[in-house]
Amino acid sequence: MSWRLSGGVRLDELIQDLEARGEAFVIATVVRRQPPVSARVGDRAVITADGRIYGWVGGGCAHELILREARAVLATRRPRLLRITPEASGEVVEEEARTVAMMACPSRGELEVFLEPWVREPQLLIFGESPLAHALALFGQALGYEVTRVVRDEPSSRGSEGIRIARLEALPGFLPQDELYVVVASMGHYDEEALAAALQIHARYIGLVTSRRRAQAVLDFLRQAGWSESELQRVRAPAGLDLGAVTQEEIALSVMAEIMHERRRAMAEQAVPPEPPPAQARDPVCGMEVEIASARYVTDWEGQRFYFCCPGCRQAFLRDPARYVSATVQG
């Protein structure tokens, strides 16, 4: 399978560029076809959140449907298999698949496209050179976080594979849409300086690993330095769930457990209530649901507006509108 998409764009270079800009996207891959269709097995496309398509996975009847499903995949962050067939009636929704009938599509072909969401991994920024900071980095990496360790002195090593090392004076940049979690585990060496740096970052979680007495002293120092109460309330101090942890590794585990708990809670809150679906209308020819706001094929007949999934359905309707309007009313 070629790394070069239809149109000459290299898939790996495009992914690197989109990730560098913090853009979420979907990779669509044709996994099965029944001729006649224009796409072939192995054809791929990258679909961005704003509807740009790089590559080719089918045109005509399938184009708008694939765009619609790609948006749904990005919203749920779950992959989906899309089956496009002329045989079934309406839409059949399964847990990880959707079958859509396009009976009026002239080609009468079939297509299966696997849609895979690509979103940036959650970011874990750890201040400190302690054994606990090292354990946090390993736990975070194992749990799928993109880990960066921040040190004050010149690092003695480059860190484990996949773990970046940064200086306190030159923190890496993060995008506003990044899912960022910060832990200060400098263990009394430069807690105030590290926590002040953490508070300047747009993070979903800021934890300070220390004792309750030491945490109060650090927060008092920052309060006297001009930080407001609302800013200081962002800090979890001491960080970590109360799991009875004793060793450095156990404390690191309790901190990662708290981060995981906060992350899953936030994701659940974002999912409830779900966003209302966009207004849709039923294509009177093939029965497919069409998003009204983005519909490209529209016609008015006897004071009523009709929406179509493709030009073939619109042309079929225009040849005999009464037939399809009558069928819609009876249905």
Name the domain count of the chain: 3
Q: What is the pLDDT of residue 128?
A: 93
Q: Which residues of 126-153 are buried (b: 16+ CB within 10 A; e: fewer)?
A: bbbbbebbbbbbebbbeeebbbbbbbbe
User: Are 185 and 125 spatial neighbours (Cβ–Cβ below 8 Å)?
Assistant: no
What's the rounded mean pLDDT across residues 146-170?
A: 77
From residue 22, alpha-carbon distances to 18, 112, 273 in Å are 6, 29, 26
**231 inside domain:** yes
Same domain? For 138 and 78 the reply is no
Q: Which of 90, 118, 146 is the last residue of a domain?
A: 118
- The string of DSSP codes covering 23-81 is --EEEEEEEEEESS-S--TT-EEEEETTS-EEE-S--THHHHHHHHHHHHHHHHT--EE
Does residue 142 or residue 293 have the better pLDDT?
142
Closest C-alpha to 77, from 25, 30, 133: 25
Q: What does residue 95 show for φ and ψ, rounded to 5 degrees? A: -60, -45
**4 inside domain:** no
Average pLDDT, the chain: 85
Name the E strands within 175-296. 180-184, 205-208, 235-236, 280-282, 289-291
Assessment of whether the complete model's pTM goes beyond 0.85: no
**22 inside domain:** yes
Does residue 226 or residue 98 have the better pLDDT?
226
pLDDT exceeds cutoff 80 at 327: no
Q: What does residue 155 show for φ and ψ, rounded to 5 degrees? A: -65, 140
Same domain? For 98 and 234 the reply is no
Same domain? For 89 and 164 the reply is no
Query: Mind listing the pLDDT tens digit for each residue in 253-308?
Result: 999 999 999 998 887 776 544 455 578 888 888 777 788 888 889 999 989 999 98
Query: Mind listing the pLDDT tens digit for each residue in 219-232?
Result: 999 999 999 999 99
Name the token pair of 26: 């979907």
User: Are 56 and 7 spatial neighbours (Cβ–Cβ below 8 Å)?
Assistant: yes
Same domain? For 16 and 112 the reply is yes
Q: Which of 67-81, 127-141, 265-279 has the lowest mean pLDDT?
A: 265-279
Does residue 95 or residue 49 have the better pLDDT?
49
Type of residue found at 4:
R
pLDDT exceeds cutoff 80 at 1: no
Closest C-alpha to 159, from 125, 142, 134, 136: 134
Same domain? For 127 and 265 the reply is yes
Q: What is the pLDDT of residue 95?
A: 60
Q: Residue 167: give its domain's CATH number.
A: 3.40.50.720
Q: What is the pLDDT of residue 329?
A: 47
Same domain? For 262 and 286 the reply is no
Q: What is the pLDDT of residue 272?
A: 46
Q: What is the pLDDT of residue 57?
A: 86
Widest distance between CA atoms in the chain: 81
Name the token pair of 160: 């484990």
Same domain? For 220 and 111 the reply is no
Same domain? For 111 and 26 the reply is yes
pLDDT exceeds cutoff 90 at 142: yes
Same domain? For 249 and 319 the reply is no
pLDDT exceeds cutoff 80 at 170: yes
**105 inside domain:** yes
- What is the domain extent for residue 290? 280-330
Q: What is the pLDDT of residue 274?
A: 45
Q: Which of 271, 291, 321 is the last residue of a domain?
A: 271
Name the token pair of 131: 């054994």
Q: What is the pLDDT of residue 331?
A: 47
Type of residue found at 216:
Q
